[in-house]
C-alpha cells in the first residue's frame, strides 16, 4: 500500500473541505498575503511516527509550500520534544493546514504507537500481530498503513481480499462442511472461525488450512494448538488486549489479531510551531 493512493488523496480533500470550508477567516484577517515562515512539527511525547508522508499532499491541495523536510519517516520512534518534520512556505498556507495535518499525524501516529507496543509484547514467540477491519470508516487504508509503520501485519483490507468464514456464515451455509465446500470455489485463500471442539474437528477433516480461534481463553487456545499439531495455521482473536497478547502468543498460535490496534488507539500529542 502507498501513502499516495487516490483514496488517501480524497480523504485529505474531504478533511480540508471540512475544516477550511470557504476560507480561513482568522489567518486571512491576521496574516499579510505575502508573509512567509518556517514551522516545525514536534512530538510532545514518546511515539512512533506515522503519516508524515501526507504533508506534501496536504500542502499541495492548498497551493503548495517551498520545502518540506521529513526528519523522521513513518515507523521511526521519537522522544518527547523531538522534531518530526520541518516546513517552509507561505505563512497563510502553514496556518490553514495546521489542524488538518495534526489530526492526521496524531491519529495515525497513535495507531502506530499502539501497534509497536503489541509487537514488542510478543517478541521472541514467533507469533505475528495482525490488524482487523475494525477501522474508522473511510480511513481504513490510512490506519492500516499506520499499523504497518508500527511493525504489525495487515490482514484483509476488505471483504474482497480473502475468504474468512465466521460463525454467521457457517450458520447461513448450513454448517462447517458446506461453508468450506462452497468457499473452495472462490479460488481465494480460505480461513474459517471455529468456536467449539466439534467445529475444529470438522474443519480439519474438511482440509481447512487456516483456522481462527475466537474468544477462547489462552489455556483453551494452547490445548487446541496441541490438538491441531501443525495441520493448519492458527490465528487467535476476540478481546485481545495489550495485557493478554503475550499469553495468547505463547500458546503456539501463528497469529494473533487485535481490533484494539485501530479501534482503541488514542491520538498522540504532536504540535506545530511557527518559528
Rounded to the nearest integer, the mean pLDDT of the chain is: 96
Average pLDDT, stretch 50-71? 98
CA torsion angle 24 28 33 38 (round to 10): -60
pLDDT above 90: residue 187: no
**Catalytically annotated residues:** 99, 134, 166, 193, 214
For 206-237, write each residue's pLDDT tens digit: 999 999 999 999 999 999 999 999 999 999 99
Residue 88 has what pLDDT? 98
Question: What are the structural domains, with CATH classification, of the chain?
Answer: 6-119+266-274 (3.90.1170.20), 124-263 (3.20.20.70)
For 90-111, write each residue's pLDDT tens digit: 999 999 999 999 999 999 999 9
pLDDT above 90: residue 189: no
Specify the pTM. 0.95
Q: What is the band of 249 on the pLDDT scale with cuts at 50, 70, 90?
A: very high
Residue 186 has what pLDDT? 86
Amino acid at each position: 500500500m502507498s501513502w499516495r493512493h487516490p483514496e488517501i488523496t480524497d480523504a485529505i480533500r474531504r478533511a480540508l473541505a471540512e475544516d477550511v470550508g470557504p476560507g480561513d477567516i482568522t489567518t486571512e484577517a491576521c496574516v499579510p498575503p505575502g508573509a512567509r515562515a518556517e514551522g516545525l512539527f514536534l512530538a510532545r511525547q514518546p511515539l512512533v511516527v506515522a503519516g508524515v508522508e501526507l504533508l506534501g499532499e496536504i500542502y499541495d491541495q492548498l497551493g503548495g509550500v517551498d520545502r518540506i523536510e521529513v526528519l523522521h519517516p513513518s515507523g521511526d520512534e521519537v522522544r518527547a520534544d523531538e522534531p518530526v518534520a520541518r516546513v517552509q512556505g507561505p505563512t497563510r498556507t502553514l496556518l490553514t493546514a495546521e489542524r488538518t495535518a495534526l489530526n492526521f499525524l496524531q491519529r495515525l501516529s497513535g495507531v502506530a504507537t499502539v501497534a509497536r507496543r503489541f509487537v514488542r509484547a510478543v517478541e521472541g514467540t514467533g507469533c505475528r500481530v495482525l490488524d482487523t477491519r475494525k477501522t474508522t470508516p473511510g480511513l481504513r487504508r490510512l490506519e492500516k498503513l499506520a499499523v504497518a509503520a508500527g511493525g504489525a501485519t495487515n490482514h484483509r483490507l476488505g471483504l474482497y481480499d480473502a475468504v474468512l468464514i465466521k460463525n454467521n456464515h457457517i450458520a447461513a451455509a448450513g454448517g462447517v462442511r458446506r461453508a468450506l465446500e462452497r468457499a473452495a470455489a472462490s479460488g481465494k485463500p480460505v480461513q474459517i472461525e471455529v468456536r467449539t471442539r466439534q467445529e475444529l474437528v470438522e474443519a480439519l477433516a474438511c482440509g481447512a488450512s487456516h483456522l481462527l480461534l475466537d474468544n477462547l481463553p489462552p489455556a483453551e487456545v494452547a490445548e487446541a494448538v496441541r490438538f491441531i499439531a501443525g495441520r493448519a495455521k492458527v490465528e487467535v482473536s476476540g478481546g485481545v488486549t495489550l495485557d493478554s497478547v503475550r499469553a495468547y502468543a505463547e500458546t503456539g498460535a501463528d497469529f494473533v489479531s487485535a481490533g484494539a490496534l485501530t479501534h482503541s488507539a488514542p491520538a498522540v500529542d504532536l504540535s506545530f510551531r511557527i518559528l
